[in-house]
Amino acid sequence: MRWTALLPLGFFAALAAVFYVSIFAGDPSEVPSALIGKGVPDFALPPIEGMESMEETGGFSDEMLKNGEVTVVNVWASWCVPCRAEHPLLEQVSGAGVRLAGINYKDPPEAARRFLGQLGNPFDLIGADRRGRAAIDWGVYGVPETFVVDGEGTIIHKHVGPLAPEDIGPLIERARQASR
């Protein structure tokens, strides 16, 4: 038997090892982001249509993240089941003295208003990303995703997936360290 006959078997074994490591090793919520350590992308989102209290702010833009205040930015949607599950934890983050901003992803305004009306609105800033363009610029893979942005508008952390209770403390601590 020639060694070249074993070449496809070796290639398959190497490929299987790469897939195994990428699937089972590491934390799936720790997806690397090219934006960590870089400024937030340029964006300007309108408020969720029909939310009078938020319309006064004019929506949510990158400039609002460059005011010296640490902000936790959460990308969410009313149709997202994990977003509904993490929502009480966002209320805790908001109540812990951390500014919370929301990017509502590909939602009809009435669905977003109903979601916030039923579960409460923890957001200090909120914008409607009806086409999903801003989320793409932020490097969002799917909802929910959460970012910590320092007071100069630099992304310092990205969390993929729903927040869990054990994520809240470290998220708040990272936000506070970033503000120092």
- Kindly list the domain boundaries of the chain, sorted by start residue: 30-178
- State residue 32's pLDDT score: 59
- What pLDDT score does 29 carry? 46
pLDDT of residue 1: 58
Contact 77, 109 (CB under 8 A): no
Whether the CB-CB separation of 132 and 106 falls below 8 Å is answered with yes
User: pLDDT value at position 115?
Assistant: 97
Q: How confident is the model at residue 55 (pLDDT cuts 50, 70, 90)?
A: very low
Question: Residues of 48-83 as b/e, b for ≥16 C-beta within 10 angstroms?
Answer: beebeebeeeebbbbebbbeeebbbbbbbbbebeeb
Q: Is the pLDDT of residue 31 over 90?
A: no
Instruction: Give pLDDT, residue 16.
Output: 72
pLDDT band with cut points at 50, 70 and 90 for residue 93:
confident
Where is average pLDDT lowest: 20-29, 54-63, 116-125, 136-145?
A: 20-29
pLDDT of residue 52: 64
Res. 94: pLDDT tops 70: yes
User: What topology does CATH give the domain 30-178?
Assistant: Glutaredoxin (3.40.30)
> In the prediction, which pLDDT does 165 show?
87
- Report if pTM > 0.85: no
What is the rounded CA–CA span in Å between residue 73 and residue 54? 16
Amino acid at 140: V
Higher pLDDT, residue 10 or 157: 157
Q: Is the pLDDT of residue 51 over 90?
A: no
- 100 CB-side CA count, 13 A: 23
